[in-house]
Amino acid sequence: MGLRLRGKRTRSFWTGTMLMLGLLAAPDLVSATDAPVGDQAPMQAPDLGVSSVATIASAKTRFLSLGVGKSVVIDLPREVKDVLVADPKIANAVIRSAQRAYIIGGQVGQTNVVFFTADGQQVASYDIAVKRDLNGMRAALRQSLPGVQIEGVGDSVMLTGSVSSPVEAQQAGEVAAKLVGGSDKVVNSIVVRGRDQVMLKVVVGEVRRDIVKQLGVDLSASLNAGTAVVNFNNSNPFSVSGGPIVGSNGLGVAGLAKGVATVSATMRAMESAGVMRTLAEPSLTAISGESATFIAGGEFPIPAGYSCDPVTHVCTTQVTYKKFGISLNFTPVVLSEGRISLRVMTEVSELSNTNSITLTQAVSSTSSNSITIPSIQTRRAETTLEIPSGGSMAMAGLIQQQTKQAINGLPGVDQVPIIGALFRSQDFVNNETELMVIVTPYVVRAVAQKELARPDDGFAPASDAQTALLGRMNRLYGIARRVDPIAGAPGDFGFIID
């Protein structure tokens, strides 16, 4: 028997049937309000990296790069109604028509822009990177340094490529620093092709002459008057050299009058002259743009304090070391046209007893130790020069003349003619110093080892028999004979044997 349903009854029947089938297919479906509290599933925070809106299948995230203050026109595939900009300070988006938008770069940084339709579907997404506008900088570098490339890295710029000299690399860095507002925002990765090597030769020459004279009579007397004792001494307490010039040397006469008075006289007459010559010629090689250091010298100990044992009461001297010798430090930069820029620091120092001091340390109640600490005479020069390869220049120089004179005697009596010479003494010191520092740079290349000469080439130690019988330190070889002059060769020639 067939069953026929018409009109509203038919639709109601089918609606009820579908509802029953849905309930049978999902028997575990329970609303959140009907479920017990203990059976509720834990809630999770939404994933911020995934958009919860509907997305058109053809919409993909694209990357867009533009400069600060620059704009880009974007044509959209569908009509848009809304736009989302993550950081409007970095970039801004303006919708001018249903399917066209403008993106304007604000400041250096990264952000993203998303476009939506009227029903909330995502039409397009762009990752925006706003960088510095480097077109003007590229044009400026392209004219002078075509081998240099420039790229933006955040708020900074990076220079790459290759140049022929360090000067060109430095110029590119200076241009970029001026355009970006500081050298701290420039990463210079330019490679210099075939970097030159520079050898620097420094000559430090000094000649010093000293003249010391002393003439006079030192008188001393002691007068005993009962319990009173009167002493007299006219020796010079203010010597021109800070101490006695002659010391205890001199011609002395002493006399005694019945134990009442003692008189002694010392005649001092001395003249000395000395000459000192110092010559140092350090040489050092470095790559253009790099620093190099050369040191030849030593260290001498000086006391830095005492450490005493509280039990044994024995004190130990603490020692530190002071450097002296010859040092050279320089940084060369090869410029164009064979010129070399140098930053040089050279020093020549040596030990001296001129201003030395003596320290005395008591070891026990009856004994003590004395330590003499020498002084250091130093010649130091530091400057920046620009010299052609092979050219020499006086880096520093000094001419010094020092004269000291002191006269002492008994007031009033020392002014008496002839007799006054017995009551006065005169000291005279004259020091003359001439110092010069000369630097000579060379652009050098490597050569074969056989073309280089060593200081010990040709040296041969003497045998035991030659040392014992002839007193020779090294062997002599060759034939001693007269060498005829070469025709047409001016000047002296031959061998010089010390």
Q: How many Å apart are CA 257 and CA 170, to the nearest integer?
A: 89
Mean pLDDT of the chain: 75
Spatial neighbors of 430 by CB under 8 A, at least 6 apart, are 210, 211, 212, 401, 402, 403, 404
Does pLDDT of 477 surpass 60? no
Q: Name the fold adopted by 135-194.
A: Histidine-containing Protein; Chain: A; (3.30.1340)
DSSP notation for 429-471: EEEEEEEEEEEEEEEE----GGGPPPTTTT--BPPHHIIIII-
* C-alpha triplet 149, 152, 155: angle, nearest 5°: 145
Does pLDDT of 237 surpass 60? no
8-state DSSP, 42: P
Across the range 85-107, mean pLDDT stands at: 87
Query: Residue 179, SS3?
Result: helix
Across the range 224-253, mean pLDDT stands at: 57
Neighbours of 217 (CB within 10 A): 20
- Written out in words, the top-level CATH class of the domain with range 61-131 is mainly beta
Give the model's pLDDT for residue 27.
42
Query: Residue 81, SS3?
Result: coil
Q: Same CATH topology for 61-131 and 135-194?
A: no
Q: How many Å apart are CA 102 and CA 74, to the nearest integer?
A: 6
> How far is residue 178 CA from its own chain's centroid?
25
Confidence category of residue 230, pLDDT binned at 50, 70, 90: low
Structure-model confidence comparison of residues 323 and 254, the more confident one: 323
Does pLDDT of 178 surpass 90? no
Give the model's pLDDT for residue 476.
63
- Comparing 45-59, 169-183, 310-324, the range with the smallest average pLDDT is 45-59
Tokens encoding 264: 């002694």
Confidence category of residue 364, pLDDT binned at 50, 70, 90: low
Task: Report pLDDT digits (tens) over 392-422.
Answer: 999 888 888 888 888 777 777 777 787 777 7
| Number of alpha helices (DSSP H) and beta strands (DSSP E) in the chain | 4, 22
Give the model's pLDDT for residue 451.
84
Neighbours of 235 (CB within 10 A): 15
Query: Residue 85, SS3?
Result: strand
**Helix 166-180 and helix 135-144: axis angle, to 10°?**
160
Most confidently modeled of 46-55, 71-80, 136-145? 71-80
Closest CA to 198 of 79, 289, 296: 289
Q: What is the sign of the dihedral through the CA atoms of 176, 179, 181 and 185?
A: negative
Neighbours of 195 (CB within 10 A): 14
Q: Which amino acid is at 228?
A: A
Confidence category of residue 314, pLDDT binned at 50, 70, 90: confident
pTM score, whole prediction: 0.53
The two most distant CA atoms of the chain are separated, in Å, by 179
Structure-model confidence comparison of residues 229 and 379, the more confident one: 379
* Size of the chain, expressed as the number of residues it contains: 498
Confidence category of residue 165, pLDDT binned at 50, 70, 90: confident
Say which residue the tokens 């130091």 belong to: 380
Q: Which string of b and e fits 377-414 if b means at least 16 CB within 10 Å?
A: bebebeeeeebebeeeeebbeeeeeeeeebebbeeeeb
Strand ranges of the sheet holding 368-388, from the earlier edge strand across to the other edge: 292-308, 315-334, 339-362, 368-388
Across the range 40-69, mean pLDDT stands at: 55
Q: How many Å apart are CA 216 and CA 186, to the nearest integer?
A: 75
Confidence category of residue 29, pLDDT binned at 50, 70, 90: very low
Where exactly are the structural domains of the chain? Answer: 61-131, 135-194, 213-267, 276-451
